[in-house]
A = this chain, B = another copy of it.
């Protein structure tokens, strides 16, 4: 059982202050103190640290109404760059961000079916990472780190992909493999947690102690924010909500079980909902999840009754599953994220809210809002980049090596 130290408080506060600055840039120390609940003095020293790191800059003064004007600080967007890598079953997305987390460059590599060897994946990542750096024209030295999101169970401390069901990987030392091609500090985690961190820093979970980020894609899962931080579980595999049973002895799921949430609300599950209700629907694009979901989204927007019914049926399952999360965890906010949620958007949200209201208990229901993720781009990329940002921030708090002589080496950057 890990004990917390006073340094953890500092780290959390540093995160909080930077989050606030990114969210409301430019801002003043006063506003930061009010928003974070920290004292002015603490905010000032933390702002000082961030200024020293060149992560933020002073950008002038607020107009005064009869006193010394407030100094304003803003993110120093060009003070560094972060790379987020989203490795998925069929593609690798890489995005390069400035420190305000704007996307400066994107690259995408598609993986052919059968490309499942770690080395193949790694070379795609390396190529795309090289590409975004070149595109954006940032100097290598300004890249603070690379966050990598890979599906499955991941041990972030060792950088090992313990288990990736897509490719049947077992204990692949992904970080080591990547570090042969990529010289920047690397951080590894999975898309569920990346999505959760993205929402926590920049999305709908900002400022909330307890939040659930529901990931609706081909696979389904939930990133858990509990007590203001990510909940990882004892073996790094918390959040496998997609494989919780919703319909005992129900529809078979690719995990081998029956009646899992994912079997009903993942993209393939939605396709099945569609084909069961309307076997000959023109919306159905066999073997193409993306096209089918897109078609469904368009049809729903046009009030196509069949599409509406499919969304309602899907929301019936999704709502019950989300109600389960709400009843158990009692979060402040539930965020619907990933590409299926983004495309189906408001119509799905509306139906989901109604379905959740039918299943959840009054008190937890009343306490929790349900929203669609406000993050415009790939949340796994953004979240992965955020891990890199956290890593860069972490190194500030590192204990300084006591210099033993004139020629003492400066401390080395730790990656991962």
Residues of A within 8 A of B (CB): 1-6, 8-9, 12-13, 16, 36-38, 153, 162-163, 207-210, 222, 224, 226-229, 231-241, 243-248, 250, 255, 257, 316-317, 320-321, 323-325, 327-332, 358-359, 361-364, 366-368
Contacts and interface: CB of A to CB of B under 8 A. Distances in A.
A1 B207 contact: yes
5 contacts: A4-B12, A6-B6, A6-B9, A240-B364, A245-B321
A381 B108 CA distance: 59
Contacts of A1: 207-209, 228
Nearest to A247: B248
Contacts of A324: 244-245, 324
Given A243-B361, A248-B250, A238 B320 contact: no
Contacts of A332: 234
Query: What's the number of copies of this chain in the assembled complex?
Result: 2
A237 B361 contact: yes
Nearest to A245: B320
A228 B330 contact: no
B330 A234 contact: yes
Contact of A222 (B13, B325, B328, B367): B328
Contacts of A331: 233-234
Contact of A5 (B9, B236, B329): B9
Contacts of A5: 9
